[in-house]
Structures are given as structure tokens and as C-alpha cells.
Structure 1
Amino acid sequence: MLSSKGIIGLIVLYFVADYSLKYLRKRSKDFESNTTESSRNIIDGVEGLIGNTPLVRIKSLSDATGCDILAKAEMTNPGGSAKDRVALAIINAAEAQGLLTKKGDMVFEGTSGSTGISLAMICRLKGYIAHICLPDDTTQEKVDLLEHLGAVVEKVPPAGIVDPRQYVNIARSRAESSSAVFADQFENEANWTAHYNHTGPEIYTQTNGRLDVFLTGAGTGGTISGVARYLKPLIPSLKVVLADPPGSGLYNKVKNGVMFDIAEREGTRRRHQIDTIIEGIGINRVTANFEAGRQLIDDAVRVTDNQALQMANYLVQNDGLFIGSSTAVNCVAVAAYAKKIGPGHTIVTVLCDSGTRHLSKFWKAVPTGPPLSLDEILNI
């Protein structure tokens, strides 16, 4: 017979074994529950990757200015730029209007690069065909991307917007003659509303509503207008600032109410309306998307080509950040504005795309060797 101690030992062993079994069953159920929950968080399709981009602190600029300089990393969208948001919104709007109904339907657009790439990506995944008209001096890497994404690429000589042979006008004409969709990124208000519905709320959430300045360049004007329209009512003290490259009239439109740039004076224009190495921002007309937020823009900063080139070298050597030309303009402007308003402020800008799209043009002109100091860049 078992002693009393033996009986007690068996009882203890029984309860330990019973508890262990129940614990293991619970852990198994928890694992199954977590696995099921994880499966619900799987993104369904490439379009699910668009948006919710990180907000990154640019260390070198922040340390040099005493401000928290934060940048929305739009190059992390699947198509590599902020234009993914716009392209998806435009295509979704066209579908809702019954303009795109079946595979093989065509979407025309005139663009110098990123919007075309984003449209080509969205059209490819939805079964549509993107027909992209662009200037014949667009970088070859952008053309290659478009073609690999299945777009029809039509190159045309650079021309002013009043010329019917200008790439946007040709795209519009092609769409009208074939009863197809013209994306019309400059005038289509699905552009700014995409940033109002998504980019602006993301910035507000990521900063907990604590920011002093939002600064970015404008091509179509969708980003600056959409973000300004969302953030300004929530943060009345917020300053919205435009970054503008050479040859663009938007700087003077914001500062003086007049659409003019010194490069446009008679006898000086060498190429076409935007006489600069910068791609993606700068324009000489007020688009519907820019007008949507124009009254909310408080200030503007002019950036030269040389400053942008030097900033690209500065960021790649100090931060390992390999940026495109429009991002370089944003970063020069954000540093200049931070110096203007002084330390202790939070400024948000946009990393529009990577330098990989600008290898054969912008990055060929970027200087090598030790970078200039930030003050030297701003004083060029």
C-alpha cells in the first residue's frame, strides 16, 4: 500500500499533469487564433500595398537645422512613387463612372514619367492597356519601366502646353479619337482627393497632429492641395510651403499672385517651358488640382538646379539616401525654410521617388567627392 506521502504525491502529479494539458490546449487554440488573425491581415493584391508609407526623420538635415525634418517615403509604394495613389484613384473613378468596363480598355495619359509608370502598373493588374505619351528626352530608365509594365509608349518632341503637339495634348487627342479614357492627371480632381483621403490623414496620424510646416513641390498640384485641404482645418497654425524649381511660374504665383518666371522672358527660353534638369515638378499654368489648394499655400521657396544636384550628393553621402530630382528640390527647400523659421519646429516633406529613375540625366550631373556643407548648398 502507498503511504500517505505517496498518495499526496500522486494527487499533486495528477493536478500538475491536468494543468499542463489544459495549458497546452489553450496555447494551441491561441496559436490557431493568431494564425487566423494573421491571415486576415494578408494584403490582397498589389493595390493593397499603395499608401501607408513610412514617415522618416532625415538625420543630417534635422541635426543641421535643429528642426525635426520628416519625410513621407513615397518611393516605398509598389510603383516607386506617390503617383501610385493618384493612378489608382483615377482608374477607380473611371470604373465607377462606367468608362472602364472590360479587359483591353485603353487609358491614355501625357506624362514625363512617374504617373505613367503608376498607371501602367495599375492598368496591367486590372487588364487595361496604358498608352503613355511623353517627351522624347525622358530618361531611358523610365521608358524601359513603362514598356516592361506593358504600356504603349509614344515619344514626342518637347513643346509648350499651347502646342497641339505637346505630349499631354496628344494623349488627350488620342483618347478622344478612340473613345478611350484620358487620365488627365493635371485636371482630374481624383488626384488631389487621393491625397486628401489618404496622404493627409496618414501624416496627421504619424505626427499625432503635431507639425508646424508641410512643404513640397507641385507638378499637377495634387499632393500639396490634397494634404493642405486635409491638414489646415485640423491644424490652423500649419504653414503650407511650395518648393519650386527653375523655369516654373508657381513660385511667383504664390508670392506675388502672378504666373511668371524670369527664364520665360523673351529671347531666353532655350528648350520649352520648364528649362531645368528637374523632372516631375514645376509648371507654367494653374491646374485644377493646384487651384484646389492654392489659397491654402502660405509661402514658396525657389531652388536652383545646382542646389538640387548638391543636395543629392549631400544626402547620399550623409544619410545613404538615394533620391530623385524632385525630392532633392524638396530637401533644399525644407532645409532653407527650417533655417528661416529657426530650431524646434517639425517640418514634413515628401520623398517623391528614388534616384534609380534619374540615373541617365539628373544623377549624371550630380557632383562626386565630399559634399558641400548645408550652409554652402543654401548659399549657392
Structure 2
Amino acid sequence: MDEHIADAISRPDLVRLTDRVFCVRFETMKVVSALAAVRRLLEQGRVRPGDTVLDSSSGIYAYALALACHRFGLGCYIVGSTTVDETLRVQLEVLGATLERMPPSGSLELDQNRRVRRVREILWRHPEYHWMRQYHDDIHYLGYRTVADHIVRELGAEGLTVVGGVGSGASTGALAVYLRQRSSDVRLVGVQPFGSVTFGSEHVADPDIIIAGIGSSIRFDNVVHGLYDTIHWTAFDAALSGSVELLRGHAVFAGLSSGAAYLVANWESSVDRNRAVLFIAADTGHRYTGSVFARHDEAHALESLAPREVLTRDELSRPWSRMEWNRRGPGPEPPD
């Protein structure tokens, strides 16, 4: 029996969608990393019960960190994006977390930079607070060891391709690290939105959205580029189609990044029919009811969509591009 709801939420569901495509579905994925990170900080004595931890969040990590703090008796201070909706705001308030929501901004880069600047101002006034640094500290990798163990028990690791949003690196990257300890035959496919700097698509704008949680307009230090075999970039419309088909075809109600991952997983399963493909559904679809699912009549059939295969990032174009990354670093493309 679990001692706290956070422990239950941290365990994902593993669902077979076809004979070779599988979904690891989370209610809120970042609870996994927040719980493990806070537990390790307490074990190391870097924070103590009653202390306050602080971070910036566009939404999901705020809820995860608030649950972890509730679980372990810590104060929680969140500098939140304008994307933090009223439902989440009320939950954070009742959980005892402090939310400081930034004013609206038309630029994701401005919003992210402004939140980080505000975090530094708070730390200057409260040096006793601990900054969780979800985008930079690899302590957030730790929680995914148990997820990898669960995947190995159910699927094994040999001949497995893992697909998911790159995000801060502490989900897909961490799973690859732990799964490759069991088998070297684990491929990692990262999903990015256009406009993200992480894998160099900032020169290709998506007028609709930069998909929260899988890309960024600022550098994330805990992304290890050399872990990734292949990168896909998806635009909003393509991700919407994946989300709608995931619900329509398999009754899995998941967010926009999950739809992008499902779209990519389907494609990767057609590229190599000898491998099992596991994709990450990081959260539920409730935040996207109006912006995505109410527009289900705009979704394209997945069989009508295909990525543009590119050799360099200069060739990237919407709505969907694919590039063999070959586990190299974040620098320029290798010479021909």
C-alpha cells in the first residue's frame, strides 16, 4: 500500500497498442523525477524537512514538485508561466505551494528567461531556499531507473526503440541510460517542436505553438545529445493529429507531446519492423481539451503524414522532419 498519492501517481501504465507499439502512460510524468530528486536531497542533507525548494515551471513540474514537497514536508515555491491554468493554480494553493505567476508574454523565450531571472532574484533574498534546477541538474534522472526496471520486466530491452519528447533530458535521456545498462540494443528517438534551440531548430518558426515540455527556447544543461539516435521535429498540426488518433484509435487521452510521440512511434515502427517501439505519454489530455481535442475534425489520418528526411538542420521544414542524429554532440553537422 502506498503511503502517499505521489507514490501511486509516479507508477506509469504500460499499454500494448499493436503487436509492436507500446505506450508507457503517466498521469503526470515529472512526479517520477521530482520525488526521486527530493528524496536524494534529503538523504544527502542538502535540504531538511521544513526547508523550501524553488523552481520555475510551465505547469507539469509545478504540480510534481508540490506533490513531492507535500510528501516529504517541505515548502514549495513556484515561479510559474502564464500557461499555469486556474485548475492547477487552485491545486497548488491547497497543497500549500506558493505560486508566483508571471504576466502574459507573446514570446516563450522571454517568458522562460524572465522566470529564471525571477528565480535568481528570490534566491538573492532567500539564500536558504534550494533551487531544484529541473532544466540543468541531472539529479532528475534518478527516478527513471524504476520506470526502466518496469519496462525491462514487461518488454525486455533487446531490440527496443524508445520514443519521447526530449524536454529537459530527464525522461527520454534517463530511460536510455538505464535501459542501455541492460542491453546495448536500445535506440532512442527524440521528439522536438520547431523553434526549439535544443537540437537546433530555432530558425524554423511554428506560428501555432512551441509544444510545452518537449522543447525550449533556452539551453537545457541536462540534455545529453549523444544519447539520441534519431530526432523528429513536429509542428502543432502533426502533433494534434497524433493526439486525436491516440484517443480515437486506442482510447488513450494524453497531451500534445504524447500525440507527437505517438505519431513518431508509428513511423519508426514502419521503418524497422523487427523492433518493438515504446513511446512516452507524459500527461493526460485535460489541459488540451479546448486547444486540441475540440478541434478533432482538423486531424489528418496518420497514414497521410510522413516526415521529410533531412541531412542537415538547414533543411528542416514544417510540418514534420526527421534526421539521423547518430549519438553525436550538440555542435554543427559533421562534414560530408
Report if TM-score (shorter chain) is over 0.5: yes
Task: Give 1:217 shift.
Answer: 0.7
Question: How do 1:109-188 residues align onto structure 2 when only pairs under 5 Å count?
Answer: 109-157=55-103, 158=105, 166-178=114-126, 179-188=128-137
Query: Structure 1 residues 115-124 or 162-171, which shifts more?
Result: 162-171
Uncovered stretches (5+) of structure 1, i.e. residues with no partner: 1-41, 76-80, 254-258
- Does 2:288 align with 1:288? no
Is residue 109–residue 172 contact of structure 1 (8 Å, CA) maintained in 2?
no
What does residue range 229-308 of structure 1 map to in structure 2 within 5 Å?
A: 229-250=177-198, 253=199, 259-263=200-204, 276=209, 278-291=211-224, 294-308=225-239
Residues 196, 210 of structure 2: 8 Å contact kept: no
1:227 CA displacement: 1.1
Task: Give 1:357's aligned amino acid.
Answer: R
RMSD: 2.6
The CA distance in 1 between the partners of 2:236 and 2:132, in whole Å, is 30
Greater percentage in strand: 2
Letter in 1 for 2:195: G
Q: Which residue of 2 aligns with 1:352?
A: 282
**CA, structure 1 residues 286+230, in 2 after alignment: closer, same or farther (shift >3 Å)?**
farther
Seen in structure 2, the aligned counterparts of structure 1 residues 164 and 338 have a Cα distance that, compared at 3 Å, is closer
User: For residues 231-263 of structure 1, what are the alpha-carbon distances to aligned partners after superposition, in whole Å with 9 as ceiling and x for unaligned?
Assistant: 22432222111111121133xx3xxxxx34323
Cα distance in 1 for partners of 2:11, 2:75 equals: 27
Distance 1:211 1:51, change over 3 A: farther
Distance of 1:187 and 1:84 partners within structure 2: 17
Rounded Cα–Cα distance in structure 2 between residues aligned with 1:202 and 1:164: 34
Q: Is the contact made by 1:222 and 1:289 (CA closer than 8 Å) also made in structure 2?
A: yes
- Report the identity percentage: 20
Query: In 2, are the aligned partners of 1:191 and 1:222 still within 8 Å (CA)?
Result: yes
- Whether the aligned pair in 2 keeps the contact of 1:244 and 1:302 (CA below 8 Å) is yes
Does the alignment pair 1:368 with 2:297? yes
Q: Distance in 2 between matches of 1:102 and 1:212?
A: 40
Paired letter, 1:74? F
Residues 161-196 of structure 1 deviation map (CA, whole Å, 9 limit, x = unaligned) = 68896213322431342121111111121111222x
SS of match in other structure, 1:263: coil
What's the CA shift for 1:297? 0.8
The structure with the larger Rg is 1
Aligned length: 305
Q: 1:93 to 1:169 in 2, by over 3 A?
A: farther
CA contact (8 A) 1:141 1:357 kept: no
Q: Partner amino acid for 1:109?
A: D
Q: Tell me the TM-score normalized by structure 1.
A: 0.72
1:200 aligns with 2:154: no
